[in-house]
Amino acid sequence: MGAIYAIANQKGGVGKTTTAVNLAACIAEAGYDSLLVDIDPQCNATVGVGLGKHIEPNVYELLSGEATIDQVAVASAIDHLWVAPASPDLAGANVELPRIPGSENRLKEALRTVRERFAFTLLDCPPSLGPLTVNALVAADRVLVPVQAEYFALEGLAGLLDTLSLVQRELNPRLTIAGMVVTMYDSRTRLAQDVQNEIRSHFPQLVFDTVIPRNVRISEAPSYGKPVIHHDPHSAGAAAYFELAKEVATRG
Ligand SMILES: Nc1ncnc2c1ncn2[C@@H]1O[C@H](COP(=O)(O)OP(=O)(O)O)[C@@H](O)[C@H]1O
Ligand SMILES: [Mg+2]
């Protein structure tokens, strides 16, 4: 039985998409069937695995009930990795979903069967706590929170944890926090070390041991439509995401 992970943090640019794409690719590389679901209208995860922004049907049709996950999920160029692509139309779902009673369950219902087919399903969330992210948190078993190693990293985490508690209480009692992962860590700076220490002291049980370094191979990989493990398998970034994938799989 597979598990569904939401990759969430309402801050933009903290490494959600990078983590979703690279974790999905590492899990697929290990031979497990994985599904990457892009629920961000920016489509960065979709483009990051080499797909276009206007594939039909996409996650918009999945949420509106016009298509099933079997129709929306497409095979990527990577073995074992399937993708439910986003499109810019998804921005409309932010407006339309709140008008429909019970709409926070749309994604959960649409993904009902994925645990049978995929060992891991990763949901790449947009940078907000709006209806799309709430749908992801309702559909997920676990949430993984990337935290950028920079000043203000902790700002907003309290709001995110409040939202998680609310979702757990009202909508999805099964939801647990898989962990927080420190991203874009620059070991040369004192600031990054201080921020990492602060995050670990605030959330002692929650932070993954693996730290994702700031690495140029990670940032250039999406322009080739590839995860870093295929763009440069020998880079520090590739090694870090492999480690993280192992830790996620071990923690369960
Ligand atoms: N470890 C890293 N090293 C270098 N650049 C990174 C790293 N992680 C993410 N980036 C870059 O930072 C930017 C924001 O990352 P992204 O994953 O898109 O964040 P989010 O999805 O949270 O908005 C992107 O340009 C991405 O390529
Ligand atoms: Mg993103």
Each residue of 14-41: pLDDT tens digit? 999 999 999 999 999 999 999 999 999 9
Task: Give the ligand 1 atom nearest the CA of 19.
Answer: 17
235 lines ligand 1 (CB under 6 A): no
Question: Which ligand places an atom closest to the C-alpha of 181?
Answer: 1
Which of 7, 16, 18, 36 to mutate for ligand 1's pocket (most ligand atoms within 8 Å of CB)? Answer: 18
Task: Give the ligand 1 atom nearest the CA of 183.
Answer: 1
Distance 219 CA to ligand 1 centre (A): 6
Shortest-distance Cα residue to atom 23 of ligand 1: 13
pLDDT at 236: 98
pLDDT at 251: 86
pLDDT at 74: 98
Task: Give the ligand 1 atom nearest the CA of 213.
Answer: 1
Neighbours of ion ligand 2 (CB under 5 A): 16-17, 44
pLDDT at 73: 98
Instruction: With CA atoms as reference, report the closest residue to 143 among 107, 116, 181.
Output: 181
pLDDT at 229: 97
CA atoms within 13 A on the CB side of 167: 29
227 lines ligand 1 (CB under 6 A): no
pLDDT at 187: 92
Shortest-distance Cα residue to atom 27 of ligand 1: 219
Shortest-distance Cα residue to atom 11 of ligand 1: 219
Whether residue 252 has pLDDT greater than 80: no
- For tokens 């939401």, what's the residue? 6
Mean pLDDT of the chain: 96
Q: What is the number of domains present in the chain? A: 1
Dihedral angle sign, alpha carbons of residues 149, 155, 160, 166: positive
22 lines ligand 1 (CB under 6 A): no
Among the residue ranges 95-99, 108-112, 114-118, 231-235, the one predicted with the least confidence is: 95-99
Can you give the three-state secondary structure of the chain, one letter per residue? Answer: CCEEEEECCCCCCCCHHHHHHHHHHHHHHCCCCEEEEECCCCCHHHHHCCCCCCCCCCHHHHHHCCCCHHHHCEECCCCCEEEECCCCCHHHHHHHHHHCCCHHHHHHHHCCCHHHHCCEEEEECCCCCCHHHHHHHHHCCEEEEEEECCCCCCCCHHHHHHHHHHHHHHCCCCCEEEEEEEECECCCCHHHHHHHHHHHHHCCCCECCCCCECCHHHHHHHHHCCCHHHHCCCCHHHHHHHHHHHHHHHHC
Residue-range definition of the domain harbouring residue 210: 3-251
Whether residue 7 has pLDDT greater than 80: yes
Whether residue 105 has pLDDT greater than 90: yes
Q: Is the pTM of this model over 0.95?
A: yes
Dihedral angle sign, alpha carbons of residues 160, 236, 79, 87: positive
CATH number of the domain residue 135 falls in: 3.40.50.300
**What pLDDT, in 10s, does the model give residues 172-229?**
999 999 999 999 999 999 999 999 999 999 999 999 999 999 999 999 999 999 999 9
Distance 214 CA to ligand 1 centre (A): 9
35 lines ligand 1 (CB under 6 A): no
